[in-house]
Amino acid sequence: MPPKYVIHHTTAKPRFRPVGKLGIVDWREDCSSCHNCVKRGCVYRLYRDEADTLRDEVGYLDYIYQCKGCLNCVQNCTKNILTRVVNPEYRRLGDSHYTPDLILSTWYQAETGKIPVSGSGYGGPFSGPGFDSMWTDMSEIVRPTRDGIHGREYISTSVDIGRKLPHLAFAEGRLKVDPPPLMETPLPVIFDQIPRHWNRGEVVTAVTTAAAEIGTLTVLCEADFRETEASIRGHGIPLLATPGASATQPGGSAPLVMVPDGPDVMAAQAVLKADHPARIVAIRIPAAPSVAGRVADLVREGADVIHLAFDSHGRERDSAQPRHMRDVLRDTHTTLVRQGNRDEVTLIASGGIAAAEHVAKAIICGADLVAIDVPLMLALECRLCGECERGQLCPIALEEIDAEFGVRRIVNLMSAWHSQLLEMLGAMGIREVRRLRGETGRCMFFEDLERDTFGRLFGKRKS
Amino acid sequence: MSTMPSGFQRAEPQTPGAFLSRPEYAEVSREVRPAPPRYRNEIGKYSVHRASHCASCGRCVETCRFGVYVRPDGYLHVMRPFDYRCIGFGCKDTGSYCIDACPNGALKLSVNPAAETMGDHRWTPDLLMSTWAMAETGRPPGKHLECEVGGSGGGFDRLRFRFPDSPPPGLRREDISTRLPLNRRGDSRPGITIDVPWYGGGMSFGSTNIRALLGKARVAKAFNGFTCTGEGGYPERFIPYKDHVITQVATGLFGVREETIQRAPIVEFKYAQGAKPGLGGHLLGDKNTPSVAAMRETVQGVSLFSPFPFHSVYSVEDHKKHLDWIAHVNPRALLSAKVSTPVDVDMVAVGIYYAGGHIVHLDGSYGGTGAAPNVAKKNIAMPIEYAIGRVHQFLADEGIRDQVTVIASGGVRTPSDVAKAIALGADGCVIGTAELVALGCIRCTACESGRGCARGIATTDDELLEMVRIDWATQRLVNLYTAWQRMLVDLLYRLGLDSVSALRGRTDLLTHLDYENEP
């Protein structure tokens, strides 16, 4: 049995004080300076730490927003001069998809490498758009279950990238066919190309080195591929600028090369494979409304790997009413299953994968693996303020980031995601992530549950 | 730390041995008495600010009917406004509006900004504050608080009752029964009936303050109901209430012994829990204090992760073997199986019945009180609203619906939720978070970290334990149960039903705001 795949994490404190959610405001002019000051009684020593911090603080004072929100001081103050507020900066973080909560949770995971844990049930909305309208299953009594991260059972998270044969053939006891080349990543997550505005300083080096450390891959533009040392070790995927690229272009001996979709993409694939027969070619397709048909055509023509690129919220591109990745992946997967060649191709999905749960859910919907970009930046403390896109100074000075620190943060995040994936797989009773692909029997969709439960009782759902 | 309101003396005796020798201390009255909050500044929806030019004329004391202003006998000054009792701007038309009455214009009313920072989609600030009001007074909260639904945008929060124009003549509130029989198998085991169609959920010794747990046990005794040990063992201090304590057998098997099984009128197998379906229990190392470690027979300070699942149960036959084991150790116990809500929850329920279970306890995925990975709380297993109807229908189709009691939990926050769960097909409910909220929980969700709950509820820290007193906790819960029962009876009256059992499966009395409601 191969050794258990473990991503080791070490604490990586943030360089900048993270934006907190809650803070305490006091009206000091009403303070009676009594001897029972509630600030001394803070269970979390917030005020004491705050006083220490104040002495060393330079620049912007955001110290009051590290509060855990227990309300003890607010409710016990003799003069009732304290009140609790939500940090306005917290409210402004991110957007409707990368919510403030999700960003804080990602920061926590990148710092500690641990699964976020909390008490007293789930407090979020009943359901929501996209992946928030599905629940994964769990096993109970009548089906074997798995032990998750704390158990002794081995749960594999490895996936293969490349074309697979529909079946093997033998002649005279020997294999008659030549199996195409395959790459294996120990985690169903690869790192996508870092958008230009974030590509500064040591960021790409940190991302590729982190990928190499945990054994996964990074998509790199040609220039970065040339310059990044880690890509030499086989963990970089050059994304060629044009589909008509030839093998003599940069990317030379890379075992996996990505090309954008185009009319001659299959010819380009043939050229790229001509020089290096062991090379795998991935075709990157923007997920437009009719993408399932395009994927089906390409797979019929022999594509190895298809990378479906959704927008940053996981929606279709170029559509007035974009569908979510959840539905597009199911559509694409089902189309290929009907066509009879789903198992021959590897499907990568990217865009809007923001949390560990999205990895499992995208795979259930039909992807083999996912590619991520924004969470990597969040791991590097990005606040998604968008200043860089406007050509302004980055508030966390991304360009000054130390590569080693960046690697630690990204590895920590992946460690936390890996553990969460194991928890979900364990609960589902699934022993390897390859078996999760397209396994919609191990999940529940909001619309199905609503129809079977409330539709039966109350008729048609209002649109 | 906090100050305790006057009128609540320390419960005596303090040691378990002394407690056992004085059974009268285990007597609990169902009488409602005021149980004011244990914090000096309770948080309400509104703030009343009194400016320094107040002349202490006392007009506000005469005007306000809601107890915001108090001038103790013999005192000149009015105490600082108890503004958490204020009903807000709607008061203007009631004739009790202090703001207009103040001759000096010294009072100012505003929305309390701290209130809006509390809670979440499921437990809105209004639900938290209305639960506190019920726990203090034993009465339904005022109309200024939304006390029936939260803001999750689905499930219970979008279901409403369809009331007939008028209740049938002759129906009287005092004749309406809220009793719930738990043994429907008609076997040789006792026919236990509880007075209200809900009981307290399992919270383990180790996760929760023993004083809060004793408060739960005492209210169970007062209301002839139950509480559950959770998986952390059976503390000796529960023994005076043993006829109202369910012994839980969970995968960690902490404190599961022959005597704890034999002591219990109901034994519950916990296969899964809604807080973390598919995962075992978590007790992080900081909360594993010497007394907890002794109870669980483990090493102090070590994080405890219970396995998932029972490795001795991989089929319904194995499950039956488990239940048989308990059935033989305690021939008088009812058997309950607590399961979460997977796709095949209906099959699981049938399996529990055929293995000999009396109670099928479904714990939906959004509930729970314990520490759990966020990824599990949000994503694994289905919300309880879906599971109840499926199980009810499947059991009915199998012809065994009336031989088993279905209990729903996991997101049951209000008497209205209890009624909706029953209308969807459950017999009764288990509540957890609502009880903790009554004891002052604000759902800051930091129960698991460091020394535990900063509010003294979910903690084993010696200093934090002091924040809760047993008789205060008991009274808060007695008041909460009384208010819930009253609201449930009122709801049944308006529906024209003479008992809570008549509500079971009456989906015709429900509507859903997101549907056209024309089947």
CB pairs A-B closer than 8 Å = 286
Q: Which of A68, A121, A137 sits opposite B343 (nearest CB)?
A: A137
Q: Rounded to an integer, what distance in angstroms lies between the CA atom of residue B114 and that of residue B125? A: 10
Give domain limits for chain B.
46-111, 173-512
In this structure, are residues B206 and B292 in contact, taking their beta carbons and an 8 Å threshold?
Answer: yes
A385 in contact with B at a CB cutoff of 8 Å?
no
In this structure, are residues B220 and B199 in contact, taking their beta carbons and an 8 Å threshold?
Answer: yes
Pull the structure tokens for residue B385.
């609203």
B396 in contact with A at a CB cutoff of 8 Å?
no
Q: In what order do the strands lie in the sheet with B334-339?
A: B198-200, B428-431, B405-409, B359-363, B334-339, B266-270, B245-249, B227-228
Query: pLDDT of A325-373, one tens digit each?
Result: 999 999 999 999 999 999 999 999 999 999 999 999 999 999 999 999 9
Burial track B16-25 (b if 16+ CB lie within 10 A, e otherwise): eeebeeeeeb
pLDDT for res A24: 82
Interface of B with A in 314-373 (CB under 8 A): 314-316, 319, 339-340, 342-345, 347-348, 351, 365-373
Burial track A201-215 (b if 16+ CB lie within 10 A, e otherwise): bbbbbbbbbbbbbbe
A71 in contact with B at a CB cutoff of 8 Å?
yes
Query: pLDDT of A364-373, one tens digit each?
Result: 999 999 999 9
Q: What is the mean pLDDT of chain A?
A: 90
Q: Rounded to an integer, what distance in angstroms lies between the CA atom of residue A86 and that of residue A69? A: 10
Contact B280 A423 (CB under 8 A): no
- Amino acid code (one letter) for B178: T
- Closest among A20, A208, A212 to A108, alpha carbons compared: A20
CA of A12, closest CA in chain B: separation in Å?
A: 19
**Eight-class DSSP state of B85:** G
Cis peptide before B13 (omega within 30 of 0): yes
Q: Rounded to an integer, what distance in angstroms lies between the CA atom of residue B160 and that of residue B145? A: 17
Which of B52, B343, B420, B462 to probe the A interface (max A CBs under 10 A)? B343
User: Which residues of chain A neighbour B443 with C-beta distances below 8 Å?
Assistant: 120, 123
Contact B378 A70 (CB under 8 A): no
In this structure, are residues A256 and A238 in contact, taking their beta carbons and an 8 Å threshold?
Answer: no
Residue B368 main-chain phi, psi, to 5 deg: 95, 155
Q: Rounded to an integer, what distance in angstroms lies between the CA atom of residue A251 and that of residue A232? A: 10
User: Which residues of chain A neighbour B376 with C-beta distances below 8 Å?
Assistant: 423-424, 427
Give domain limits for chain A.
22-91, 148-450
B270 in contact with A at a CB cutoff of 8 Å?
no
- Amino acid code (one letter) for A433: V
Q: Quote the ipTM score.
A: 0.92
pLDDT for res B92: 93
CA of A443, closest CA in chain B: separation in Å?
A: 8
A88 in contact with B at a CB cutoff of 8 Å?
no
Which of A45, A135, A140, A357 to probe the B interface (max B CBs under 10 A)? A140
Q: How far is CA A55 from the centre of its chain?
A: 38
Q: Which of B316, B377, B442 sits opposite A141 (nearest CB)?
A: B316
**Close Cβ partners of A98 (under 8 Å, ≥ 6 residues apart):** A354, A374, A378, A384
Contact B121 A142 (CB under 8 A): no
Q: Rounded to an integer, what distance in angstroms lies between the CA atom of residue A271 and that of residue A252? A: 12
Contact A120 B316 (CB under 8 A): no
Q: Is B244 left (phi over 0), alpha (psi -120 to 50) or beta?
A: alpha
pLDDT for res B517: 87
pLDDT for res B26: 77
CA of A187, closest CA in chain B: separation in Å?
A: 18
pLDDT in tens, chain B (519 residues): 444 444 454 555 556 566 556 667 778 999 999 999 999 999 999 999 999 999 999 999 999 999 999 999 999 999 999 999 999 999 998 889 999 999 999 999 999 999 999 999 999 999 999 999 999 999 999 999 999 999 999 999 999 999 999 888 999 999 999 999 999 999 999 999 999 999 999 999 988 999 999 999 999 999 999 999 998 899 988 999 999 999 999 988 888 899 999 999 999 999 888 888 888 888 888 888 888 888 888 898 888 888 777 878 888 888 999 899 999 999 999 999 999 999 999 999 999 999 999 999 999 988 888 888 999 999 999 999 999 999 999 999 999 999 999 999 999 999 999 999 999 999 999 999 999 999 999 999 888 777 788 999 998 888 898 999 999 999 999 999 999 999 999 999 999 999 999 999 999 999 999 999 875
Q: Rounded to an integer, what distance in angstroms lies between the CA atom of residue B288 and that of residue B451? A: 10
CA of B348, closest CA in chain A: separation in Å?
A: 7
CA of A139, closest CA in chain B: separation in Å?
A: 7
A75 in contact with B at a CB cutoff of 8 Å?
yes
CATH 3.30.70.20 for domain B46-111, yes or no, is yes
CA of A2, closest CA in chain B: separation in Å?
A: 24
**Close Cβ partners of A397 (under 8 Å, ≥ 6 residues apart):** A15
Query: CA-nearest residue of chain B to A446?
Result: B382
Q: Is the pLDDT of residue A205 over 90?
A: yes
Interface of B with A in 160-199 (CB under 8 A): none
Element housing B436 (H / E): helix B433-438
In this structure, are residues B320 and B355 in contact, taking their beta carbons and an 8 Å threshold?
Answer: yes
Tell me which CATH code domain A148-450 carries. Answer: 3.20.20.70
A420 in contact with B at a CB cutoff of 8 Å?
yes
B269 in contact with A at a CB cutoff of 8 Å?
no
Interface of B with A in 53-112 (CB under 8 A): 80, 112
Interface of B with A in 223-262 (CB under 8 A): none
| Mean pLDDT, range A100-121, rounded to an integer | 94
CA distances for A275 relative to A241, A247, A270, angstroms: 19, 7, 9
| Mean pLDDT, range A418-422, rounded to an integer | 94
User: Which residues of chain B neighbour A136 with C-beta distances below 8 Å?
Assistant: 379-381
pLDDT for res A276: 85
Which of B41, B45, B129, B319 to probe the A interface (max A CBs under 10 A)? B41
Pull the structure tokens for residue B44.
């309400």
Domain range B173-512, CATH architecture: Alpha-Beta Barrel (3.20)
Query: CA-nearest residue of chain A to B337?
Result: A141
CA of B21, closest CA in chain A: separation in Å?
A: 36
Pull the structure tokens for residue A216.
């996964």
User: Which residues of chain B neighbour A151 with C-beta distances below 8 Å?
Assistant: 307-308
Element housing B19 (H / E): helix B16-21
Percent of the residues in chain A that have a pLDDT greater than 70, as a whole number? 91
Q: Is A382 left (phi over 0), alpha (psi -120 to 50) or beta?
A: beta
Pull the structure tokens for residue A462.
């209002």
CA distances for A180 relative to A1, A344, B253, B326, angstroms: 25, 10, 51, 57
pLDDT for res A2: 67
Contact A141 B442 (CB under 8 A): no
In this structure, are residues A344 and A166 in contact, taking their beta carbons and an 8 Å threshold?
Answer: yes
Contact A460 B371 (CB under 8 A): no
Q: Is the pLDDT of residue A158 over 70?
A: yes
In this structure, are residues B456 and B467 in contact, taking their beta carbons and an 8 Å threshold?
Answer: yes
- Amino acid code (one letter) for A76: N
Residue with tokens 């859903």: B512
Quote the crossing angle between the two packed helices A356-365 and A325-339, to the nearest 10°: 30
Contact B40 A80 (CB under 8 A): yes
pLDDT class of A44 with cuts at 50, 70, 90 = confident
In this structure, are residues A326 and A134 in contact, taking their beta carbons and an 8 Å threshold?
Answer: yes
CA of A271, closest CA in chain B: separation in Å?
A: 44
**Close Cβ partners of B84 (under 8 Å, ≥ 6 residues apart):** B37, B42, B43, B44, B45, B129, B132
Return the ∠ at Cα B41 (arms to A47 and B369), rounded to 5°.
75
pLDDT class of A58 with cuts at 50, 70, 90 = low
Residue with tokens 């044009």: A242
Q: Rounded to an integer, what distance in angstroms lies between the CA atom of residue B148 and that of residue B434? A: 13
A455 in contact with B at a CB cutoff of 8 Å?
yes
Contact A76 B41 (CB under 8 A): yes
CB atoms within 10 A of CB A347: 25
Q: Rounded to an integer, what distance in angstroms lies between the CA atom of residue A235 and that of residue A245? A: 21
**Eight-class DSSP state of B513:** T
Of residues A39 and B222, which shows the higher confidence score?
Answer: B222
Contact B448 A117 (CB under 8 A): yes
pLDDT for res B367: 84
Burial zone of B304 (CB within 10 Å; 0-12 exposed, 13-18 middle, 19+ buried): buried
Q: Which of A85, A120, A121 sits opposite B117 (nearest CB)?
A: A85
Contact A122 B377 (CB under 8 A): yes
CA of B20, closest CA in chain A: separation in Å?
A: 32
Contact B512 A458 (CB under 8 A): yes
Q: Is the pLDDT of residue A135 over 60?
A: yes
